[in-house]
A and B are shown apart, each in its own frame.
Chain A
Amino acid sequence: MARLNIVDAINLALHQEMERDERVVVLGEDVGRNGGVFRVTVGLLEKFGENRVIDTPLAESGIVGTAIGMAVYGLRPVAELQFMGFLYPAFDQLISHAARIRTRSRGRFHCPLVVRMPYGGGIKAPEHHSESTEAILAHTPGLKVVIPSTPYDAKGLLISAIRDPDPVIFLEPKKVYRAIKEEVPEEEYTIPLGQAKILREGGHLSLFSWGAMVPPSLKAATLAQKEGIEVEVIDIRSIYPFDIDTIINSVQKTGRAIVVHEAARTCGFGAELVAQINEKAMLYLQAPVERITGFDTVFPLLKAEEYYLPNENQIIKEIKKVMTF
């Protein structure tokens, strides 16, 4: 077993799935010769050739739209969009077509498509490079939305996404692309979509987060423990479908919950979690479910980035507030 970061783990998963299934093709801007701007697709072109690792013209809608045609025809395209901030030209294709083709053809056709993209802030990138708009995607019936936060999960979830018969949006938290290294098995394995992961057990408060917000959540839990607060940290991993059982079981146990995400607050995915907890665990609650989120503002340029992104200090403060409600 090798110690890999998220970039390496995704790269390994792509190599292995392309090896296993010749229907898997990778397409996008700079994915071939350049190996991707984050080097996620390094080595694929050399190994699988130009027919299966395709440098495309610079056109997001074109990439996703043609990938839909490929997927319905019988390939398993894995499209890369360079940054989530450049996803929007492809929204029409995703929302109007990829997500609906199974319904519109009454199951005659389906769209086994993966669209990968780095998302989120925290790397002092230029404007439009720090978006975190997973809630818009989760709001679209017919799409699945997956966000790994660790190398192990990144590999297992991507393999599941590629084998999934429906379109999956695979969001890669670029702030932690290379920040975490862990043991990742060489052999292939899958992690079912729709399952959350309990990273740390605790009986006092449930802390839900995903992507790059998982590390500060874990740090805050460690700090809280020093003050005698046992925080249960749960990585949601699949934004849609999401793991309601793990979420509700945890809240029923702790009676207190906080959701942490870096996306804007209003209609962020945290709002859905709060609503679900209210519907399904109201009588267990000892405090209002709180949210720690980005703001309903444009993501600021790098000098002001730290104001926007939730951090462990904010999280620990909120934990104490909820505990003393």
Chain B
Amino acid sequence: MLSLLGKYDPLKGEMAQILDKDGRIVNPDLEPKLSNDDLKTLYRFMVLSRVADDKALKLQRQGRFGTYAPVRGQEAAEVGSAYALPRSDWMFPTFREMAAMVVKGMPLESVFLYWMGNELGNAAPEGVNIFPISIPVGTQPLHAVGAAWAAKIKGDDVATLVYFGDGGTSEGDFHEAMNFAGVFQAPTVFFCQNNQYAISIPRARQTAAKTLAQKAIAYGFAGVQVDGNDVLAVYAITKEAIAKAHAGGGPTFIEAYTYRLSHHTTSDDATRYRTKEEVAFWEERDPIKRFQVYLQGKGLWADDYEKGLLDEVTQLVDKATDKAENWPAPSPEDVFKYTYAEMPWTLKEQLAKLLETLG
């Protein structure tokens, strides 16, 4: 075991890949042993993410959604990694991890509810081990390390996986998290979605290092670059990193090399800083198309299957939209009551004043 993590040298720019951009298997010996059902489930989650993403953008344009950060283009990175994470392990997402969170068990209506502006959508249901998404960039890897370290102290067989982007690796907290994880051998997987841009700032402006994965070397643990648009490679690498964490092997840094096909958020206009040619180059590397070809080759995909799947997930997304839109509005008390376990007199006084104002 542990062959994949040591096999690709980030200093030489080597990258793990199983499927090339056209869906051909380039590394048959790395192909994970997944059942047909698993393969179809991976595909379904990717398609669900794409459909939910498109819906979210539409709803935002219609004024029914707040600002939203689309996943488009990163479905393989999110679905592949989240699918490798056991249920008892913990996930620490950022604001772009809708797909990963849904794979981990977050109801889609919760994600929608959050972006519609109801904080309740940020609360994972009991038993779904997902931290509230982190908006301040690069701050959450520390929480993943702390939780993993706590699990280790308590003797729990639990690992954590934290998502962040290429921009996040420039933050000081990223360094501190990597450093703590290395020193304390925390069972944490650092999953970096290098989607090439932090809003408008290209990856080259984040670091002079050739790869992000090589940063792990300085912290004393393995870093590996993986084709982030290849769901099989992402799954295989993450699975191994998670297994290593559970086996007491400490942290791993995974750089999923991918591309944000859409805007940073609905408030952004990516045409200001990227060329059509560049986007077209990456459209050709669409993670969903590539996996579709692979499934077709295995006899697991056909036009009618696609149509049935699209119908199913569209219905699911519409239902989630309905549920989220018809959710009761938060009460004035909701703003106050979660600040502390018990409301101090100051908050009681301020709430009373608000209620009086509202009449």
Residues of A near any B CB (own CB < 8 A): 25, 51-52, 54, 56-57, 59, 61-62, 65-75, 89, 92-93, 96-97, 101-110, 141-142, 144, 164-166, 194, 240-241, 244
List residues of B (111-128) whose CB comes within 8 Å of A's CBs: 119-120, 122-124, 126
Contact yes or no, A74 B132, CB < 8 A:
no
Q: In the complex, which residues of chain B have a beta carbon less than 8 angstroms from the beta carbon of A97? A: 134, 136, 139-140, 143
Contact yes or no, A68 B180, CB < 8 A:
no
Contact yes or no, B176 A104, CB < 8 A:
no
Using CB atoms, name the residue of chain B closest to A103.
B338
* Given A102-B341, A194-B344, residue A59 in contact with residue B179 (CB < 8 A): yes
Q: In the complex, which residues of chain A have a beta carbon less than 8 angstroms from the beta carbon of B139? A: 65, 92-93, 96-97
Q: Add 8 more A-B contacts to A109-B131, A241-B344 (CB < 8 A).
A: A65-B173, A66-B142, A68-B142, A70-B146, A73-B151, A105-B131, A106-B338, A109-B132
Contact yes or no, B146 A65, CB < 8 A:
yes
Bound-state CA distance A105–B345 (Å) is 22
Contact yes or no, A59 B132, CB < 8 A:
no
Bound-state CA distance A83–B150 (Å) is 25
Residues of B near any A CB (own CB < 8 A): 90, 119-120, 122-124, 126, 131-132, 134, 136, 139-140, 142-151, 153-154, 160, 172-173, 176-177, 179-180, 183-184, 338-341, 344-346
Most interface-central of B90, B172, B173, B184 (chain A CB within 10 A): B173
Contact yes or no, A75 B153, CB < 8 A:
yes
Q: How far is the CB of B20 from chain A (nearest CB, A)?
A: 38
Q: In the complex, which residues of chain A have a beta carbon less than 8 angstroms from the beta carbon of B126? A: 108
Listed by A's residue number, 11 A-B pairs whose Cβ atoms lie within 8 Å are: A51-B153, A52-B153, A57-B176, A59-B179, A65-B139, A65-B176, A66-B143, A74-B154, A105-B124, A241-B344, A244-B345
Contact yes or no, B172 A57, CB < 8 A:
no
* Given A62-B179, A65-B173, A108-B126, residue A103 in contact with residue B345 (CB < 8 A): no
Q: How far is the CB of B73 from chain A (nearest CB, A)?
A: 27
Most interface-central of A70, A75, A165, A244 (chain B CB within 10 A): A70
Contact yes or no, B338 A107, CB < 8 A:
yes
Q: In the complex, which residues of chain A have a beta carbon less than 8 angstroms from the beta carbon of B338? A: 102-103, 105-107
Q: In the complex, which residues of chain B have a beta carbon less than 8 angstroms from the beta carbon of A69? A: 142-150, 160
Query: Does more than half of chain B's interface fall in helix, strand or loop, or is it mixed?
Result: helix
Q: How far is the CB of B138 from chain A (nearest CB, A)?
A: 10
Q: In the complex, which residues of chain A have a beta carbon less than 8 angstroms from the beta carbon of B140? A: 97
Contact yes or no, A89 B172, CB < 8 A:
yes
Contact yes or no, B173 A72, CB < 8 A:
no
Q: In the complex, which residues of chain B have a beta carbon less than 8 angstroms from the beta carbon of A240? A: 344, 346
Q: How far is the CB of A92 from chain B (nearest CB, A)?
A: 6
Using CB atoms, name the residue of chain B closest to A51.
B153
Contact yes or no, A57 B180, CB < 8 A:
yes
Contact yes or no, A101 B132, CB < 8 A:
yes
Q: In the complex, which residues of chain A have a beta carbon less than 8 angstroms from the beta carbon of B134? A: 97
Bound-state CA distance A106–B132 (Å) is 10
Q: In the complex, which residues of chain A have a beta carbon less than 8 angstroms from the beta carbon of B183? A: 56-57
Q: In the complex, which residues of chain A have a beta carbon less than 8 angstroms from the beta carbon of B180? A: 56-57, 59, 62, 66
Minimum-distance CB pairs A-B, first 7: A69-B146, A65-B142, A62-B176, A66-B146, A241-B344, A69-B143, A69-B147
Contact yes or no, B176 A61, CB < 8 A:
yes
Q: How far is the CB of A298 from chain B (nearest CB, A)?
A: 24
Q: How far is the CB of B141 from chain A (nearest CB, A)?
A: 8
* Given A69-B148, A104-B119, A241-B345, residue A59 in contact with residue B153 (CB < 8 A): no
Contact of B154 among A62, A71, A75, A166 (CB under 8 A): A75
Bound-state CA distance A102–B119 (Å) is 11
Q: How far is the CB of A249 from chain B (nearest CB, A)?
A: 14
* Given A57-B180, A92-B173, residue A110 in contact with residue B143 (CB < 8 A): no
Q: How far is the CB of B340 from chain A (nearest CB, A)?
A: 5
Contact yes or no, B147 A103, CB < 8 A:
no
Bound-state CA distance A68–B177 (Å) is 12
Q: How far is the CB of A66 from chain B (nearest CB, A)?
A: 3
Q: How far is the CB of B22 from chain A (nearest CB, A)?
A: 41
Bound-state CA distance A244–B136 (Å) is 35
Q: In the complex, which residues of chain A have a beta carbon less than 8 angstroms from the beta carbon of B173? A: 61-62, 65, 92-93
Bound-state CA distance A39–B123 (Å) is 41
Using CB atoms, name the residue of chain B closest to A272.
B346
Q: In the complex, which residues of chain B have a beta carbon less than 8 angstroms from the beta carbon of A73? A: 90, 146-147, 150-151, 154
Bound-state CA distance A67–B176 (Å) is 13
Contact yes or no, B142 A93, CB < 8 A:
yes
Q: In the complex, which residues of chain A have a beta carbon less than 8 angstroms from the beta carbon of B151? A: 73
Bound-state CA distance A223–B123 (Å) is 57
Bound-state CA distance A185–B136 (Å) is 45
Using CB atoms, name the residue of chain B closest to A99.
B339
Bound-state CA distance A73–B186 (Å) is 14
Q: In the complex, which residues of chain B have a beta carbon less than 8 angstroms from the beta carbon of A104? A: 119, 122, 132
Contact yes or no, A57 B179, CB < 8 A:
yes
Contact yes or no, B119 A106, CB < 8 A:
yes
* Given A65-B176, A165-B341, residue A108 in contact with residue B123 (CB < 8 A): yes
Contact yes or no, B132 A68, CB < 8 A:
no
Contact yes or no, A142 B145, CB < 8 A:
no
Bound-state CA distance A222–B338 (Å) is 44
Q: How far is the CB of A289 from chain B (nearest CB, A)?
A: 19
Q: In the complex, which residues of chain A have a beta carbon less than 8 angstroms from the beta carbon of B177? A: 62, 65-66
Q: How far is the CB of A131 from chain B (nearest CB, A)?
A: 20
Contact yes or no, A68 B341, CB < 8 A:
no
Bound-state CA distance A74–B150 (Å) is 8
Bound-state CA distance A142–B150 (Å) is 23
* Given A65-B173, A102-B338, residue A70 in contact with residue B150 (CB < 8 A): yes
Using CB atoms, name the residue of chain A closest to B186.
A66
Q: How far is the CB of B133 from chain A (nearest CB, A)?
A: 9
Most interface-central of A59, A67, A144 (chain B CB within 10 A): A59
